[in-house]
Amino acid sequence: MTESISPPAVEMRGIVKRFGPVIANNHVDFTLEQGEIHALLGENGAGKTTLMRILYGLYHPDAGEIRIKGQPVVIHSPKDAIAHGIGMVTQHFALAAPLTVAENVVLGYTDGFRLDLPAASQKVLDAARRFGIEVDPNARVKDLSVGQRQRVEILKALYRQADVLILDEPTAVLTPQEVEQLFEGLRRMQSQGLSVVFISHKLHEVMAITDRVTVLRQGEVIGTVRTQETTPAELARMMVGRPTFGVSKPDTSPRDDVLLRLEKVAALDSRGLPAVKDVTLHVRAGEILGLAGVSGNGQRELAQVLEGVRRCTGGYIVANGHDITNAGPRKVMAAGVGRIPEDRHESVVLDLTVAQNMALEHLDAYTRGGVLDKKRMRAHAEQLIEAYQIKARPDDPIRTLSGGNMQKVILARVLERNPSVIIVAQPTRGLDVGATEYVHQKLVEQRERGAAILLISEDLDEILTLSDRVAVMYEGEIMGIVPPDVDLETLGLLMSGVRIANEPENTEAA
């Protein structure tokens, strides 16, 4: 092998990290060769992020050794990591929003006391060109889209001359197009000699871009394999410890009654610009209507309008026979609408307990003579925890739950009331294979029960496997509604704003 001549870019040996009783990393060995793209795979909480945060100096290992290019090093802080040529793009972007792109990029990496912004901008621009990244150095980060922000993050690492780049779930928030752009960038960097650690839950991405895969389970390394010599099924088995099967949707057809009706709905985004324009959609009982689209095309705002937390500036919405246009969350819920929002932190109060969060939407049901019935809240929470296999106790602050368990809490809170309409956005973002499967299963069960489900997702696989029909949104408008077995090319065209010949509502009539 050619790479054995030069020492590995990074070698981590016997890394141990404990958080109280939890062993996040248990004697982990991990080797990143120079110039390779190496995937870290594992279920939620397997210890991937922890391992990389240790490498980047954000955590200190309890035991273990790190070698960079063969040299043993001690990394106290990100500053040390940067000095060793390591860059990391974290799951939650680390950017100061009111500052400009250039300021964010040079932050912490300026020479001298004086800050020469024009020169810095120029250098940032140069670095961007070299790696084929498009950004305006003088734009303020707060005005950028998620994809653009990620590019700034990557640029930050490259600007610091990183030759090892860690990407923690970089694709979780990207559209398929952006993912493709990212991959192109990664290949270009690889060709320039960069080594990349790539964390993702999406096996097809791992298969597409990486050279090797290391799988973690419960803090321990299960194995490292060459991507070319493995299959998604094998990787999944390594991760979960058992074979996984995709969720299949039973072949029942939707009923005729429309439970959710949107007529010419319009809304503005947070900056006051039109984000949703005359959206008309009908969702029938026992149907999952998928809403696909590149992120930032108004799906988020549309979901918020339906959830009752954003003003509707035109048109009307009828759910279950109730007009819920601008009715507010309470009336929306009272109309039998269940809501699972895009951002989990948007719908649970992190510092309240599991039981409290489970009761929060229907406090009236837990009030006796003006007094809160804590016993009932607890009993209710215990029952849901049991029913939904949530790994938590009723009195745990919900902050301490993993993403998957938090999602289960939200799911339980919504589904236990048997809503006739369900608005669900990005339900499996950041969840591992097992948890994703669980959520999909639950949604399909709801469809069987006869709920009308509007599924908003940027994960096309998810949309195509679960939906009965797929609506595509572009710049706030519905471009068309197609069956889930549509060819990807048509879908791509719709998502990029090319309207297909037949009128959307024609498909509706069929």
Partner 1 sequence: MKLRIEKSPAPVWFRPLIPLLAILFTILITSVLVILVGANPFHAFYYFLIDPLSSRVSFIEVLVKSTPLLLTGAAVTFAFVGGFWNIGAEGQMLMGATAATAIGIHMHAAPPWVAIPLMLAGGFAAGMAWVLIPALMRVKLHIDEVVTTLLLNAVALLIVSAILNGPWRDPVSQWPQSPEIAASAIFPKLIPRTRLHLGFLIALAVILIVWFILTRTPFGLKMKAVGLGPQAARFAGINVDRTLLISALVSGGIAGLAGVNEVAGIHYHLIDAIAGGQGYTGIIVATLGGLNAWGVTLAAFFIGLIDTGSQTVSRALGVPIYLGDVIQATLLLTTLAFLLFQRYRIRIR
Partner 2 sequence: MEQAVWLTFLVGVLAATLRVATPLVWASIGEVYTERSGVLNLGIEGIMFLGAFVGFAAAAKASQAGLPGYLWIGLGAAVLAGVIMALLMGLLSVTLGVNQHVSGLGITLLSIALSMFGFRLVFGESKVLPSIEPFGQIAIFGNIPILGPVLNQYLLTYVAFLVLVPLAWWMLYRSSFGLSLRAVGENPEAADAAGVNVYRIRYLALIIGGAFMAIGGAFLSLAQLGAFSPGIIAGRGWVSIALVIFARWDPVRAMWGALLFGAVSALQLRLQTLGFQLPYEAFLALPYLITIFALAIAGRNAPYPGAYLKPYRRE
Ligand X SMILES: Nc1ncnc2c1ncn2[C@@H]1O[C@H](COP(=O)(O)OP(=O)(O)OP(=O)(O)O)[C@@H](O)[C@H]1O
Residues that bind ligand X (CB under 6 A): 19, 22, 24, 42, 44-50, 91, 344, 400-403, 430, 432
Q: Which of Mg ion, ligand X, partner 2, none binds 106 (CB below 5-8 Å, type-dependent)?
A: partner 2
String of DSSP letters for 432-450: -HHHHHHHHHHHHHHHHHT
* Using rule CB under 5 A, residue 436 touches Mg ion: no
Considering beta carbons, is residue 200 or 320 the nearer one to partner 1? 320
Q: Which of partner 2, ligand X, Mg ion, none binds 104 (CB below 5-8 Å, type-dependent)?
A: partner 2
Considering only residues 23 to 62 of the shown chain, the ones binding partner 2 according to CB under 8 A are 56, 58-59
* Using rule CB under 5 A, residue 430 touches Mg ion: yes
What is the distance between the terminal CA atoms of the chain, rounded to a whole angstrom? 59
Contacts 24+ apart (CB under 8 A), 66-70: 66/10, 66/11, 66/12, 66/13, 66/15, 67/7, 67/8, 67/10, 67/11, 67/12, 67/13, 68/9, 68/10, 68/11, 68/164, 69/6, 69/7, 69/8, 69/9, 69/34, 70/7, 70/8, 70/11
272: exposed, middle or buried (C-beta count within 10 Å: 0-12, 13-18, 19+)? exposed
Contacts of 314 (CB under 8 A, 6+ apart): 264, 265, 266, 267, 278
Q: Nearest approach, Cβ of 47 to Mg ion (angstroms)?
A: 8
Q: Which of ligand X, Mg ion, partner 1, none binds 447 (CB below 5-8 Å, type-dependent)?
A: none
Considering only residues 65 to 104 of the shown chain, the ones binding partner 2 according to CB under 8 A are 77-79, 81-82, 88, 90, 92-99, 103-104
Q: Which of ligand X, Mg ion, partner 2, none binds 24 (CB below 5-8 Å, type-dependent)?
A: ligand X
**Binding residues vs partner 1 (CB under 8 A):** 20, 307-309, 328-330, 332-333, 339, 341, 345-352, 356, 359-361, 363-364, 366-367, 370-372
Q: Nearest approach, Cβ of 425 to partner 1 (angstroms)?
A: 12
* Using rule CB under 5 A, residue 49 touches Mg ion: yes
339: three-class secondary structure by DSSP: strand
Name the amino acid, one letter, at 198: F
Q: Which of partner 1, partner 2, ligand X, none binds 257 (CB below 5-8 Å, type-dependent)?
A: none
Considering beta carbons, is residue 135 or 213 the nearer one to ligand X? 213
Give the CA distances from residue 31 to residues 34, 51, 53, 91, 498, in Å, rounded to whole numbers and listed in that order: 10, 12, 15, 22, 46
Considering beta carbons, is residue 293 or 430 the nearer one to Mg ion? 430
* Using rule CB under 8 A, residue 350 touches partner 2: no
Residues 212, 307: Cα–Cα separation, whole Å = 42
Contacts to Mg ion by CB under 5 A: 49, 430
Contacts to partner 2 by CB under 8 A: 56, 58-59, 77-79, 81-82, 88, 90, 92-99, 103-104, 106-110, 112-115, 117, 156, 160
